[in-house]
Structure 1
């Protein structure tokens, strides 16, 4: 047979004979388990198409090619051969390559067999196309071509997903379904460029899961999160079409650059390395300044204060720039404390702002001295997180090319976005967003419970205001935040795929990909209730959020229903997916249920003890049983499923917070404890956002009902996000939603509960107007003045609210609500 090397020059020589306007492949490719006319034979009759790549291409292309061969084996049991351009041609070939880096792909482009101009020059874009007779000796090829090295890898792993290999095949033991045959339909699929340029995760608060697990299982030699662990994480990122990471950085973990194999692995996998909001210039201060400085420099570090110790700090930063400049990186500029604290400096605010400006100026001088790339073209971010936002607002002069990465309030609500002027900055903006958190007012490190609907609402809002340069998601230990992490990455890849209006459907889509369509809808319903219940109080916040006894009873019932449904559904899950189901569905649902039972039954025990009821002992026993079972299911996670693979990964009591302990029970020997929130004699009327009697849109705006958003399970808001605020004197032409309900005669309080979002810009509010029975409009702003006690209450209970009073007549009352600011979401109207 003629070698590929031999016929490459023939292809190039005769390419003028081919017309470049070959028949357009307008149909997207699809996968089939049965052979149909014209379909490409990927795997058939215990044979598999050979996989070709060019050894001159980026190393990630080789990694992806070999990973795809393993994926085919996982599905079919047949391992394809992986070949280079010098090997013999095959009848059916998968050709993988990057434009301008692959002889085969470039030859196909030159001959007009593929239309490379559709992807050329674009960021992380790929094509997957079926090509007939691409080369002599090859009947048909499946060509995966990328505009750059990551585009090629993303194309390969897109195909892996199509044949049934989940991004979580390793990280959640999602074993694919066996297929005897894999056939790809004629056509071409093109994806990219992504909506967000840099998309990735922040490994954080790893002390109770990822670090001890990695030290025990993957990186035993260094007893830490090292190259073996990062290799697995980088592969996961590529399979989710992510490209960026803030590495783990807690005191329990040595700095990313401490292990030489870490940045090498990142480069092999084409993953861009960054540093968190408190890690300027890729330096991990917790380890590298506070702990390891003397070992590295043979001198003790001076004060972490730039106005007093500039030479030493400049050298410290410059050494990392010299070490990292050969790798693809995004540099955080500015500075905070050594760890997650405010920047040391002069007490005067203006002087502190000036100092921060000098820090950034000095850092950019380091870039200029050490890099050939112009400073303005070096990817840099500035993250106004916590107190840094106030310094930025106080007048910090930030270079125009630096990307502003806006932060949420640590509980899923973005604090501020770019003004029209800021949207014109060359550096653009991005978002740092939490789905896991350690800090005030309360942690949520155990279970992941921020819904796709909320993630989409906040990140889509950010995107509408120009935040398309970088998204980084704080995922904690990765597990058990698998679905939420993948959703955020899917949204970053294509922000229009999962808009706030349809994000609630993601759980069904995701479950279908992993567990199959027959189980997907039921799993989705479980997840929807799981998120709704957590919106009112995350499992980790049960110790600080109060409920009426009626509300508590309803929570206990709702959790029992979804846990029972999950247990019943588990019987239908194929054996190959039992371990995955436990990790992804059973454990979070059961954990949340048991935490609620532990806390609420203990409260019932105390309440009954205070009135001398014998039921106190019964509830005490139920609370104790729930507490013990939390430990038992966690032991199952760590020691039983997947053959003990996850030993040390899951802790049910991170940081040993009070909420994880066994609560006080019947109060024996102690004063009676107030168990539940007091309520009025009559139950309030609760109207869900979706229960409107009518609504009216306005010119240029539309009221949208979103499922899965807010304490009631749905919310209504004004779209588009970029609509102008409504002035209170312009209600006659404004959009509104109207509710009707029967009330008794007398004075009533009308509490409007909203999603606890922040104003889009500084000094912008989250306002609504309420008109009761045609009376005078009352205007309210639900944004607290600062992160005060009201804000803390709002984020823990899942809503912000304001109340209006009105005297009504017997009969039906009409409540009309006008959302006045973009981002205002009406969740419920509660009438007392």
Structure 2
């Protein structure tokens, strides 16, 4: 099939509704509502310009023209005439018409070009080119025509069989239709293993409950038609749309599940393709398991595998495709041991000859092919394997959104070009992440902007399974792929706020708050994927981390709920599934895990309040399911099953077969703890007093009284002590100090089974403290029908003082913590400087050298662009710095420069050991870079210098 090219022009629609609602985020509005001499009127004075096509036009273009006419009718109430015409037709005295067509396919377009001498050199022979032009006297009797590009221009865009998007966005009209488009490739792996929720949804909505005869897949031409209809409805008018390819999946087979699938996709103008591990348009292992013979091993079973691929090429040859070449092991696994580069190069050679023969082409370079450097395949490339220059090289991330390698300068002039394979969800180690949105737009921008700078933009493949949790992020990915120049590191929030205004018809103030909500939901879910949470992910004892995490979620919940409650009933369902549910579900899960951790900790401390947290965990576990039900019952079950994905209590990397509650325990409520009725726990320790506890001291018994220290730079400004019940017996307590500078609040309280604990805060009047001073804090309990109890705590106040005039970061609580963006000085070298990436990372933002270094400039340690931080320390011990970019060179003052190549070498195609594991780099979303410096107390400068 030839390439399709379509044209469009700046158009004025007179007498239309709404003049300022642009649904395609970031795109200029190509529609106006007031006529002028410089505009072409589609609808004016109650009359619509007719739409002309030629009868020999592609069927997909004919279909798109029908949709276009329907759009005009929906917006204006006036239906334009839609006519198949030829150059010999009688046009009367038509003034304005719209001509739609494909260069080289439409005889009508060819006639216009011949009559007017229209210059089409910019799109001649191009696959993704289009142009628009208002042309005078294009046909006999036609005064003026706009040559129009409809939204069916072919591109390398893979789209999966997607859910119903009608409720994903409100109807967008000709005033900037919302579109999911890109010149890159979007691939969605949709399978029972990868996308259980989507599988279940499709089974309910589009089958009789049995699925396809051979595979059981619920994806058929009914779901495909629904997807394609929604897909194109999303892709009208505003963008230079290019169609994509339907990706195959590991538990279905697009070519055999439904015989109407491929013709239907082709009719819609979809370029079909397969993903990284399914060569020559055949689903593996599904189709191989059904129709293959022998092992999936080309070294011993070449002929059978070759014949299998021949069938894939034959089945798809009448459609437009992009062919995956190469080979991986069955089931998206590495090839078996012994599969060497020479064999793989023979595989590629055989595949290209196969395509040449089956497609009957004389030049194989005219057939689009791609080779994805995924997992061990990158190792083959690094070890010297190469494919012909016309094959698109698709560079892959590490399955966690970190692109492993971009093309070097020497690799950027290949005729096939380069692309990216990127993950928003995953089935694989160290753990699946599929349940809910957990990837940051800021990080995707950072990674993909580097791809743009390095010319890796020929094909973009997005791995996203169940899709519903990732709608917003997927739209951003495609929007950025369509026109990267519109988006930069400082305007990403406007993408989300514009999206919120479009989706929910809310004020700019509320839309800005939604952008903040989304940014934090994804930030907090990205720093530790929900599937990786456990009861000690966030510290229960240090820096009030767990409490601060929950406080953040509670604030986010309140903000989201306020907006949800302010919306009309018609808008609430969309807001619930796109914003409210991700917030509430994520908050519920985090609260459940932290509560389970507190339950276990307090039980180990013999504190009765452990039981309250056990009950809370049980309640939150049920609430997690209730939120799922709320989602599934919206709009009479329109999104039923979309939240089926299990996500609580993983036992290894694979999804659990059921959600199971975190482990909790209980303290016997009717029996008193051995040390007595009163329990004292101090901030910064997992121990408890009086009595024995493994955390009270190294030997775990007969431990001394606890000690607590504070300085003026402790973030909270105080320390706390928990007074708790050690059983059923009530007591009252008082807290006293022998120092006037130590203030306690509250200084007394009552403890009972119904009120099992009280937190007491200790703060210091620093005007009364010079240097280091000590105090004794005493908790005394008056226990009902028992002897009184008391516990002594040593309290040390260290009044550290920074010299007058110092500006910078100061040690507090033994640590200096600096946000990367808060630099004192920033030195550029060779046009490169450090810039802030707002929103990326675990807290505020990140920094990176800018521009993106597309020319791969290299610097030795200490010679690149640097950024400096002023800090002051009091501690005389060696300081350890953890500062996470290929190599980092760090220097304190003018001391020795230390360089850390923090990503250690690994076997080509594999990862370093630190990458993996439940507490590895990707699990914690951070690469820790420890460096030791012998630094005396005082003011210093930390200099960070990127090197390569």
**Shorter-normalised TM range:** 0.7 to 0.9
The answer to whether the aligner puts 1:100 opposite 2:104 as a matched pair is yes
How far does the alpha carbon of each residue in 1:650-681 deviate from its partner, in whole angstroms, 9 at most, with x for none? 21416643894310123569xxxxx9998998
Counterpart of 1:313 (choices 305, 311, 318) is 305
Using the TM superposition, give the Cα deviation of residue 91 of structure 1 relative to its aligned residue in structure 2, in angstroms.
7.0
Q: Take 2:175 and 2:365, find their aligned partners in 1: how far apart are those partners?
A: 47
In structure 1, the residue matched to 2:8 is: none
In structure 2, the residue matched to 1:5 is: none
The answer to whether the aligner puts 1:216 opposite 2:343 as a matched pair is no
Kindly indicate whether structure 1 or structure 2 has the higher relative contact order, using CA contacts under 8 Å at least 6 residues apart: 1
Q: Take 1:538 and 1:785, find their aligned partners in 2: how far apart are those partners?
A: 26
Using the TM superposition, give the Cα deviation of residue 537 of structure 1 relative to its aligned residue in structure 2, in angstroms.
0.9
In structure 1, the residue matched to 2:637 is: 644
Q: Take 1:684 and 1:242, find their aligned partners in 2: how far apart are those partners?
A: 53
Q: 1:316 to 1:399 in 2, by over 3 A?
A: same
Counterpart of 1:633 (choices 627, 645, 649) is 627
Q: What pairs with 1:609-620 in structure 2 (closer than 5 Å)?
A: 609-620=603-614
The answer to whether the aligner puts 1:742 opposite 2:731 as a matched pair is no
Using the TM superposition, give the Cα deviation of residue 422 of structure 1 relative to its aligned residue in structure 2, in angstroms.
2.9
Q: Take 1:290 and 1:200, find their aligned partners in 2: how far apart are those partners?
A: 23
Tell me whether 258-267 or 94-103 shows the greater mean CA deviation: 94-103
Q: 1:494 to 1:173 in 2, by over 3 A?
A: closer
Using the TM superposition, give the Cα deviation of residue 225 of structure 1 relative to its aligned residue in structure 2, in angstroms.
0.6
Tell me whether 402-411 or 684-693 shows the greater mean CA deviation: 684-693
In structure 1, the residue matched to 2:915 is: 791
The answer to whether the aligner puts 1:324 opposite 2:323 as a matched pair is no
Tell me whether 589-598 or 654-663 shows the greater mean CA deviation: 654-663
Q: 1:427 to 1:102 in 2, by over 3 A?
A: closer
Q: What pairs with 1:369-448 in structure 2 (closer than 5 Å)?
A: 369-373=357-361, 374-448=363-437
Contact (CA 8 Å) 2:163, 2:198: kept in 1 or not? no
Using the TM superposition, give the Cα deviation of residue 45 of structure 1 relative to its aligned residue in structure 2, in angstroms.
8.2
Counterpart of 2:333 (choices 313, 332, 341) is 341
How far does the alpha carbon of each residue in 1:509-565 deviate from its partner, in whole angstroms, 9 at most, with x for none? 333443346243121111111222123112222138722232221111111212221
Q: Secondary structure at the match of 2:847?
A: strand
Q: 1:713 to 1:102 in 2, by over 3 A?
A: farther
Q: Secondary structure at the match of 2:285?
A: helix
Contact (CA 8 Å) 1:175, 1:576: kept in 2 or not? no
Tell me whether 620-629 or 631-640 shows the greater mean CA deviation: 620-629
Using the TM superposition, give the Cα deviation of residue 481 of structure 1 relative to its aligned residue in structure 2, in angstroms.
0.9
Using the TM superposition, give the Cα deviation of residue 818 of structure 1 relative to its aligned residue in structure 2, in angstroms.
1.0
In structure 2, the residue matched to 1:554 is: 548
Q: 1:734 to 1:727 in 2, by over 3 A?
A: closer
Q: Give TM-score scaled by structure 1 length.
A: 0.81
Tell me whether 303-312 or 567-576 shows the greater mean CA deviation: 567-576
Q: Secondary structure at the match of 2:290?
A: coil
Contact (CA 8 Å) 1:92, 1:138: kept in 2 or not? yes
Equivalent residues, number: 743
Q: Take 1:153 and 1:612, find their aligned partners in 2: how far apart are those partners?
A: 62
Counterpart of 1:602 (choices 596, 600, 603) is 596
Contact (CA 8 Å) 1:652, 1:660: kept in 2 or not? no
Contact (CA 8 Å) 1:770, 1:779: kept in 2 or not? yes
In structure 1, the residue matched to 2:759 is: none
Q: Take 2:155 and 2:249, find their aligned partners in 1: how far apart are those partners?
A: 30
In structure 2, the residue matched to 1:538 is: 529
In structure 1, the residue matched to 2:843 is: 712
In structure 1, the residue matched to 2:170 is: 175
Contact (CA 8 Å) 1:172, 1:583: kept in 2 or not? no
Q: 1:133 to 1:344 in 2, by over 3 A?
A: same
Q: Take 1:114 and 1:561, find their aligned partners in 2: how far apart are those partners?
A: 60
Q: Take 1:745 and 1:683, find their aligned partners in 2: how far apart are those partners?
A: 7
Contact (CA 8 Å) 2:56, 2:106: kept in 1 or not? yes
Q: Secondary structure at the match of 1:290?
A: helix
Gaps of 5+ in 1: 1-26, 155-166, 294-300, 670-674, 756-765, 822-832
Q: Take 1:152 and 1:721, find their aligned partners in 2: how far apart are those partners?
A: 28
Q: Take 2:229 and 2:406, find their aligned partners in 1: how far apart are those partners?
A: 32
Q: Take 1:513 and 1:168, find their aligned partners in 2: how far apart are those partners?
A: 20
Contact (CA 8 Å) 2:248, 2:273: kept in 1 or not? no
Using the TM superposition, give the Cα deviation of residue 473 of structure 1 relative to its aligned residue in structure 2, in angstroms.
0.5
Q: 1:637 to 1:62 in 2, by over 3 A?
A: farther
Q: Secondary structure at the match of 2:883?
A: strand
Q: 1:246 to 1:394 in 2, by over 3 A?
A: farther
Using the TM superposition, give the Cα deviation of residue 497 of structure 1 relative to its aligned residue in structure 2, in angstroms.
2.3
In structure 1, the residue matched to 2:245 is: 245
Counterpart of 2:941 (choices 814, 823, 826) is 814
Q: Take 1:72 and 1:616, find their aligned partners in 2: how far apart are those partners?
A: 64
Q: 1:320 to 1:544 in 2, by over 3 A?
A: farther
The answer to whether the aligner puts 1:800 opposite 2:804 as a matched pair is no
Contact (CA 8 Å) 1:345, 1:355: kept in 2 or not? no
Q: Take 2:557 and 2:306, find their aligned partners in 1: how far apart are those partners?
A: 55
Q: Take 1:245 and 1:415, find their aligned partners in 2: how far apart are those partners?
A: 25
Using the TM superposition, give the Cα deviation of residue 685 of structure 1 relative to its aligned residue in structure 2, in angstroms.
3.2
In structure 1, the residue matched to 2:881 is: 751
Contact (CA 8 Å) 1:41, 1:183: kept in 2 or not? no
Contact (CA 8 Å) 1:456, 1:500: kept in 2 or not? yes
Q: Take 1:134 and 1:545, find their aligned partners in 2: how far apart are those partners?
A: 72
In structure 2, the residue matched to 1:150 is: 153
Using the TM superposition, give the Cα deviation of residue 429 of structure 1 relative to its aligned residue in structure 2, in angstroms.
1.9
Contact (CA 8 Å) 1:430, 1:468: kept in 2 or not? yes
In structure 2, the residue matched to 1:59 is: 59
Contact (CA 8 Å) 1:634, 1:652: kept in 2 or not? no
Contact (CA 8 Å) 1:201, 1:245: kept in 2 or not? no
Q: What pairs with 1:123-138 in structure 2 (closer than 5 Å)?
A: 123-128=127-132
Q: What pairs with 1:25-36 in structure 2 (closer than 5 Å)?
A: 30-32=30-32
Q: Take 2:554 and 2:82, find their aligned partners in 1: how far apart are those partners?
A: 51
Contact (CA 8 Å) 1:452, 1:487: kept in 2 or not? yes
The answer to whether the aligner puts 1:624 opposite 2:618 as a matched pair is yes
In structure 1, the residue matched to 2:446 is: 457
Q: What pairs with 1:346-357 in structure 2 (closer than 5 Å)?
A: 346=338, 352-357=340-345
How far does the alpha carbon of each residue in 1:346-370 deviate from its partner, in whole angstroms, 9 at most, with x for none? 3xxxx62222222222222212322
Q: What pairs with 1:576-595 in structure 2 (closer than 5 Å)?
A: 576-595=570-589
Q: Take 1:408 and 1:788, find their aligned partners in 2: how far apart are those partners?
A: 15
In structure 2, the residue matched to 1:700 is: 831
Contact (CA 8 Å) 1:540, 1:659: kept in 2 or not? no
Using the TM superposition, give the Cα deviation of residue 409 of structure 1 relative to its aligned residue in structure 2, in angstroms.
0.4
Using the TM superposition, give the Cα deviation of residue 38 of structure 1 relative to its aligned residue in structure 2, in angstroms.
6.1
Q: Take 1:291 and 1:152, find their aligned partners in 2: how far apart are those partners?
A: 31
Counterpart of 2:887 (choices 767, 771, 776) is 767
Tell me whether 771-780 or 437-446 shows the greater mean CA deviation: 771-780
Q: 1:699 to 1:285 in 2, by over 3 A?
A: closer
Contact (CA 8 Å) 1:307, 1:345: kept in 2 or not? no
Q: Secondary structure at the match of 1:742?
A: strand
Q: Take 2:263 and 2:939, find their aligned partners in 1: how far apart are those partners?
A: 70
Using the TM superposition, give the Cα deviation of residue 33 of structure 1 relative to its aligned residue in structure 2, in angstroms.
5.1
In structure 1, the residue matched to 2:285 is: 286
Q: Take 1:616 and 1:686, find their aligned partners in 2: how far apart are those partners?
A: 33
Q: Take 1:111 and 1:752, find their aligned partners in 2: how far apart are those partners?
A: 70
Q: Take 2:403 and 2:468, find their aligned partners in 1: how far apart are those partners?
A: 23
Using the TM superposition, give the Cα deviation of residue 744 of structure 1 relative to its aligned residue in structure 2, in angstroms.
1.6
Contact (CA 8 Å) 1:595, 1:630: kept in 2 or not? yes
Contact (CA 8 Å) 2:182, 2:478: kept in 1 or not? no
Q: Secondary structure at the match of 1:769?
A: strand
In structure 2, the residue matched to 1:495 is: 484
Q: Take 2:514 and 2:924, find their aligned partners in 1: how far apart are those partners?
A: 25
Contact (CA 8 Å) 1:384, 1:407: kept in 2 or not? yes
User: CA-atom RMSD, angstroms?
Assistant: 3.7
Q: Take 2:131 and 2:98, find their aligned partners in 1: how far apart are those partners?
A: 13
Q: Take 1:683 and 1:565, find their aligned partners in 2: how far apart are those partners?
A: 35
How far does the alpha carbon of each residue in 1:407-430 deviate from its partner, in whole angstroms, 9 at most, with x for none? 110000011222333334333221
Tell me whether 547-556 or 430-439 shows the greater mean CA deviation: 547-556
Q: 1:677 to 1:738 in 2, by over 3 A?
A: farther
Using the TM superposition, give the Cα deviation of residue 217 of structure 1 relative to its aligned residue in structure 2, in angstroms.
0.7
Contact (CA 8 Å) 1:206, 1:476: kept in 2 or not? yes
Using the TM superposition, give the Cα deviation of residue 601 of structure 1 relative to its aligned residue in structure 2, in angstroms.
1.4
Q: Give TM-score scaled by structure 2 length.
A: 0.71
Q: 1:134 to 1:366 in 2, by over 3 A?
A: closer
